[in-house]
Amino acid sequence: MGGGKMKEIGGYFGCEESLGREYHDNTVRLNSGRNCLRFLLREKKIKEIAIPYYICDAVIKVCEEENCKIVFYHIDKKFQPIINEGSLNQEIYIYIVNYFGQLSNAAIIRFKMLYRNLIVDNSQAFFQRPVEGVDTLYTCRKFFGVPDGGYLFPPRNVNGLERDISYNRCIHLLGRFEVSASEFYDYYSNNEKRINDLPLLEMSLLTRNMLKSIDYKHDIKVRTQNFSYLNKALTEYNELDIKNIKGGFMYPLLIKDGEKLRNHLIANRIYIPAFWNNVLFGEAGNWEKQLARSLVCVPCDQRYTIEEMKYITDVINEWRKEGTE
């Protein structure tokens, strides 16, 4: 027999190994989207980066931890960057967030022609393929029931990175599957805090196996249908001009008193996240603070059908009717 260590044989069964394929192949697999950014900062020795004011504080934290100087920029009402030509030095990296998948690859190519050093954050656009030659990162748990995981393009060598282990970050996933989201919310919240502090590691075997088991064609179809339904039903009073996309993340509804609507939906067991409270306490402009305060991000993922989308729109319409009486 060879000198290699033989795997354990016999005994109890573990999880079945999936024979499927991940949606994103030929990529760098890391343990979170924010650590994809951390990898880039280290690999490219990035010293200065421009990021939008409307941003998750986790991105800011990573940049600060890696001693990367931050310059902020504004976005317009189509979620496009507002960067004055010539206002930034040529060596700076431009970090562009593809909010709700509203930034097309054609637009990304235009930005690549304008800015030599570009990073695209597709955390909210999992099903949008990366533009060739553009550093692009994805996160997995915003779209699927996995404990962690991120993808980075283009592929490159990550030899030397240890592999993450994530079996102990799954209790909220199992609890929601068998019991309820509310009863296991604290476990979910604690897992989010742990992810904030994860060191840069390769994606765990468990997470990768879970990602191989997903029916991506089904998920894209359902998300696309649900997003389109919401856009048609809510566009009349949405202050944003939203285009239909493939496999949408969440439907962004900007409406007067959006914070009150968000609370009303939560009271009706329709759980709406807030993106992002940290923006309210920074130096962002009025537009970014309006988004943080009033944007209602409506779930439209593969767990739900048009029936649930209709229920959501009915609850919203009832709330609007009560507000006008």
Q: Which residues contact 104 (CB under 8 A, 6 or more apart)?
A: none
What confidence score (pLDDT) does residue 309 get?
A: 98
Tokens 């040529």 label which residue? 90
Give, to the nearest 10 degrees, the angle between helix 258-267 and helix 306-324: 120
How would residue 6 be classed by pLDDT, with cut points 50, 70 and 90?
confident
CATH topology of domain 216-324: Aspartate Aminotransferase, domain 1 (3.90.1150)
What confidence score (pLDDT) does residue 13 get?
A: 81
Higher local confidence (pLDDT), 117 or 196: 117
Q: Is the pLDDT confidence value at 15 over 90?
A: no
pLDDT cut 90: percent of the chain above it: 81
CA angle 52–227–120, rounded 5-degree value: 30
Sheet of 93-97: strand order equals: 28-30, 150-153, 135-139, 118-121, 93-97, 48-52, 69-75, 81-82
CB 251 within 8 A of CB 230: yes
Give the mean model confidence (pLDDT) for residues 121-150: 97
Give the mean model confidence (pLDDT) for residues 162-185: 92
Q: Is the pLDDT confidence value at 324 over 70?
A: no
Closest among 96, 100, 170 to 136, alpha carbons compared:
96
Rg (CA), the chain: 21
Q: Which residues contact 112 (CB under 8 A, 6 or more apart)?
A: 118, 131, 133, 134
Mean pLDDT of the chain: 93
From the CB of residue 53, how many other CB atoms can be counted at a distance below 10 Å? 18
**E strands in 88-220:** 93-97, 118-121, 135-139, 150-153
Give the mean model confidence (pLDDT) for residues 77-83: 93
Any idea which of 86-95, 139-148, 300-309 has the lowest mean pLDDT? 86-95
* Helix (H) or strand (E) segment spanning residue 252: strand 250-254
What confidence score (pLDDT) does residue 172 get?
A: 93
Q: Is the pLDDT confidence value at 61 over 80?
A: yes
Q: Domain map of the chain by residue range?
A: 28-163+201-212, 216-324
Q: Is the pLDDT confidence value at 23 over 90?
A: yes
Q: How far is CA 3 from CA 6, 8, 21, 70, 255, in A?
A: 9, 15, 31, 50, 65
CB 275 within 8 A of CB 297: yes
How would residue 21 be classed by pLDDT, with cut points 50, 70 and 90?
very high
How would residue 3 be classed by pLDDT, with cut points 50, 70 and 90?
low
Query: What CATH number is given for 28-163+201-212 in this structure?
Result: 3.40.640.10
What confidence score (pLDDT) does residue 4 get?
A: 65
CB 207 within 8 A of CB 146: yes
pLDDT cut 70: percent of the chain above it: 98
Read off the tokens for 169: 């970050």
CB 302 within 8 A of CB 223: yes
Q: Which residues contact 177 (CB under 8 A, 6 or more apart)?
A: 145
How would residue 91 be classed by pLDDT, with cut points 50, 70 and 90?
confident
